[in-house]
Amino acid sequence: MIAVRKIARGVGNIELQDVPEPHASSGQVVIEVNSAGICGTDLHIYLDEFETRPPVTIGHELAGVIVELGRDVEGWRVGDRVTTETYFSTCGRCLDCRRGRRNLCVHRRSIGSKEEGAFAQYLLTPASNLHRVPDGLDLEIAALTEPLACTIHGVLETAGVRAGENVVLAGPGPIGLLALQLAKVAGATVIMLGTHFDIKRLKLAKELGADAVVNVQEVDDVVESVRELFGSEGADLVVECSGAAAAAKTLVDLANRGARFCQMGLYGKPITFYQDAVCYKELVVTGTNASVTSAWPKALKLLAQRQVDGSRLITHRFAIAEWDQALETVKKKEGVKVILKPGLA
Ligand SMILES: [Zn+2]
Ligand SMILES: [Zn+2]
């Protein structure tokens, strides 16, 4: 089968290669990939800002159908519609694993970076990582379960957005637009910030429920504009989803005293901003690293019930062989979520 692979560390080094089809050992299943989303992480892998163990097939956001079961797999059948968590293995022995925080295990080997990933026709995964896709939820939209689970972990479970709060999000990419919908489901008032590059995405943010959107390059004073929109209040929670240093600075300025700062985006390099504000304002800064199991059933439920509208986020579909065009689309920030579909010729 053909697969999109990182063949060596360094910028680029991504190629289409022919690799053997996987087979399931004990406790594993093979999934035929229906849809696999391109993530910001894949872009960081392209730029070599994210650790990989090449040669390895990339891609970690997927949904598909089980086509092969290994020995000792119970509760699953060939033909089941599924999505899979991304940790191929964690050590099971370290303090983080034992505390149920597998996402923080330093020995974590995730699909799409250290183990074979989803930008191929077939994917091998431990059966213990599977989640059933509810009837009526399209497999293409179910490929958004992973980014939504990450966002649920960051925004709902860790930063704890609550009803009645003022929330400012920076970066209307896939994660930002998912965070926006979660904050609205939670009952917050939400303002989305973007730049000239984001005109279309800001429009979409409005359609997906943002109370207001602000192009930071169009206003003289972002802090003043946002306060006005909130009825002369600041933000109780700010969420950085852009991975742009300037956004971090703006969000710290926008945060109320005692507010929470939630970091979702990756900058890919060290950045500087006025950290003393964390003291003076008593900001609570929360980080988020991938997802935890508890977020997955919630993600599937929110997508199935359309409380989070996944369909509006998927803007481009490409065949595996068109991966470079797909990556280019992501790089140029055209559209929102770009999906690779092995079934497309
Ligand atoms: Zn992802
Ligand atoms: Zn561990």
Tens digits of residue pLDDT in 111-133: 999 999 999 999 999 999 999 99
Q: What CATH number is given for 2-144+310-340 in this structure?
A: 3.90.180.10
CA of 268 to the centre of ligand 1 (A): 15
CA of 116 to the centre of ligand 1 (A): 15
pLDDT at residue number 334: 83
CATH 3.40.50.720-classified regions of the chain: 149-286
Pairing of strands 2-6, 14-18: antiparallel
CATH 3.90.180.10-classified regions of the chain: 2-144+310-340
Reply yes or no on whether the pLDDT at 345 is more than 80: no
CA of 277 to the centre of ligand 1 (A): 30
Q: Report the mean per-residue pLDDT for the chain.
A: 96
CA of 168 to the centre of ligand 1 (A): 22
User: What does the alpha-carbon distance between residue 14 and residue 31 come to, in Å, rounded to a whole number?
Assistant: 23
Reply yes or no on whether the pLDDT at 189 is more than 80: yes
pLDDT at residue number 268: 84
CA of 108 to the centre of ligand 2 (A): 7
Question: Are the C-beta atoms of 243 and 263 separated by less than 8 Å?
Answer: no
Question: Are the C-beta atoms of 148 and 127 separated by less than 8 Å?
Answer: no
pLDDT in tens, 53-75: 999 999 999 999 999 999 999 99
Whole-angstrom CA distances from 107 to 25, 110, 114, 229 are: 21, 10, 10, 45
pTM, two decimal places: 0.96
CATH architecture of 149-286: 3-Layer(aba) Sandwich (3.40)
Give the number of whichever ligand sits closest to the CA of residue 290.
Answer: 1
| Nearest residue to 85 via CA among 290, 281, 263 | 290
Helix axes 222-229, 245-254, angle to 10 degrees: 50
Order of all β-strands in the sheet with 284-286: 212-215, 189-194, 166-170, 235-240, 255-263, 284-286
pLDDT at residue number 95: 96
Pairing of strands 235-240, 109-110: unpaired
pLDDT at residue number 223: 95
Give the number of whichever ligand sits closest to the CA of residue 98.
Answer: 2
pLDDT at residue number 10: 95
CA of 7 to the centre of ligand 2 (A): 27
pLDDT in tens, 262-310: 999 999 889 998 899 999 999 999 999 999 999 999 999 999 999 999 9
CA of 292 to the centre of ligand 2 (A): 14
